[in-house]
Each structure stands twice: as structure tokens, then as C-alpha cells.
Amino acid sequence: MMVSLLGGLQSIDASLYEASEMDGANAWQRFRYVTLPGLRSVSTTVVLLGVIWTFNQFAIIFLLFGNTAPDAQILVTWAYQLGFGQQPRDYAQSAAYGILLLSLLIVFTSFYRRWLNRNEQQLAI
């Protein structure tokens, strides 16, 4: 994520910073009005991928705790526990949790994209 943000920072034209400095903008104003809008396209992708990857932290919890920590359950590990970690296996409920995760991510993504599009339209005005 940091490499992506660094690439976004390097893609901002230096003449924008020079022009804002000539107009009398201080460091905070240059950051707010030049850097943040320049990073908008990169940061939207980074935030969206970060949220999706946060929902998929199965490997970390499973490798740290295995089946020994029922208190460390998130939706992904709970779906695994239902489908593969207990007897009798409940594939239907495990699949339902998988669809629930997918639905949550789709809803979040759609709201996030709408919010970003609305903000971009306001900035264009």
C-alpha cells in the first residue's frame, strides 16, 4: 500500500506545488489542496483493497491459533470452522457465511464508490 501511495505522490506534478507556493499557500494548504486531490485515485484503490483484505484475515488467525482459540473467530474463520473444522460438517451454513461476506463487501464497495463519485463531482464544480 505504501508503494502505491509513493507512486501516487511521485505522479503529482511539481509545478502544482510551485504554483501554490507562489500563490502564498502554506505547507498545510499545499497538502490539502494539491497532494490529497492528487492522491485521490490511488488512495481510493488502496482503501478499498485494504478493507477487502481485512475481511480475509483467515490465514493469520488460523496459523496463530489453529482450532484452539474459539474466541478469535471472525466470519471467515467461523465459516471454515463450520465447513471443515467440526463433525458433522455443515457445508450449507459455511457457504451461507461465505455469501454473507461477499454481500457485505459488495455493499461496502458500492457505497464507497458512490461516495467517491459524489466527492469527485463536487470537486469538479
Give me the number of domains the chain comprises.
Answer: 2
Residue at 87 is within a domain: yes
Residue at 23 is within a domain: yes
Clarify whether residues 65 and 22 are in a common domain: no
For 109-121, how does the pLDDT look when each residue is reduced to its tens digit (9 = 90+)?
888 888 878 877 7
Question: Is the distance from CB of 116 to CB of 44 less than 8 angstroms?
Answer: yes
Clarify whether residues 64 and 95 are in a common domain: yes
* Residue 124, pLDDT above cutoff 70: no
* Residue 9, pLDDT above cutoff 90: yes
Clarify whether residues 64 and 105 are in a common domain: yes
* Average pLDDT taken over every residue of the chain: 84
Clarify whether residues 21 and 70 are in a common domain: no
Rounded to 5 degrees, what angle do the CA atoms 101, 66, 99 make? Answer: 15
Sequence-distant (6+) residues with CB within 8 A of 4 are: 42, 45, 46
Clarify whether residues 36 and 74 are in a common domain: no
Clarify whether residues 27 and 72 are in a common domain: no
Clarify whether residues 64 and 121 are in a common domain: yes
Clarify whether residues 111 and 66 are in a common domain: yes
Residue among 8, 35, 40 nearest 20 (CA): 35
Q: Which domain holds residue 27?
A: 1-46
Residue at 51 is within a domain: no
* Residue 22, pLDDT above cutoff 90: yes
Clarify whether residues 62 and 89 are in a common domain: yes
For 57-105, how does the pLDDT look when each residue is reduced to its tens digit (9 = 90+)?
777 777 777 766 666 677 777 888 888 877 788 889 889 988 998 898 8
Q: Which residue is associated with the grid cell 485515485?
A: 41
Question: Looking at the whole model, is its pTM more than 0.85?
Answer: no
Residue at 74 is within a domain: yes
Question: Is the distance from CB of 61 to CB of 74 less than 8 angstroms?
Answer: yes
How remote is the C-alpha of 44 from its chain's centroid?
Answer: 8
Clarify whether residues 61 and 117 are in a common domain: yes
Clarify whether residues 42 and 86 are in a common domain: no
Question: Is the distance from CB of 80 to CB of 47 less than 8 angstroms?
Answer: no
Q: DSSP for 54-104? A: HHT-HHHHHHHHTTS-TTS--HHHHHHHHHHSSSS--HHHHHHHHHHHHHH
